[in-house]
Amino acid sequence: MDMPKEIFLKDYKLPDYYFDTMDLNFFCWVRRKQLSIQKRIVLPRIEGSPFPLVLDGVDLKLVSVKVNSKELKKEDYVLSSCHLTLPSLPSGEFAL
């Protein structure tokens, strides 16, 4: 795994998106398997923001992604070993 990148105060910028509320549900099974259902209300800092939303996560298996209750297709997002990138999002508040 890559070492964390050091970030200096001079390099800080405001986030492109804010999370207004977050609901988390965890379901645990034997053999260390777990299902997490998350719902977030997301607000762009700038209405109509053209910026992608990048979420961090390591050692996770993505089952599905929904925006405003509509399931996204695999071509609607980019999944790497440590990031989920959503390049095209609604211009205003949305549920993720």
Residue 94 in this model has a pLDDT that exceeds 90: yes
| pLDDT score of 2 more than 80 | no
Q: What is the reported pTM?
A: 0.77
Host domain of residue 76: 9-95
Q: What is the pLDDT of residue 83?
A: 92
Which backbone phi and psi does 37 adopt, to 5 degrees? -110, 125
Residue 84 per-residue DSSP state: E
Q: Is residue 70 part of a domain?
A: yes
What CATH code is carried by the domain that includes residue 82? 2.60.40.1730
Q: How many residues make up the chain in this entry? A: 96
> 59-82: per-residue pLDDT in tens?
888 889 999 999 999 999 999 988
Number of domains in the chain: 1
pLDDT tens by residue, 5-58: 788 899 888 999 999 888 888 777 666 677 777 889 999 988 877 899 999 888
| Residue 2 placed within a domain | no
Find all residues with CB under 8 Å of 67, minimum gap 6, and list them: 86, 89, 90, 94, 95, 96
Match 């977030």 to its residue by tokens: 40
Q: Is residue 58 part of a domain?
A: yes
Is 85 part of a structural domain of the chain? yes
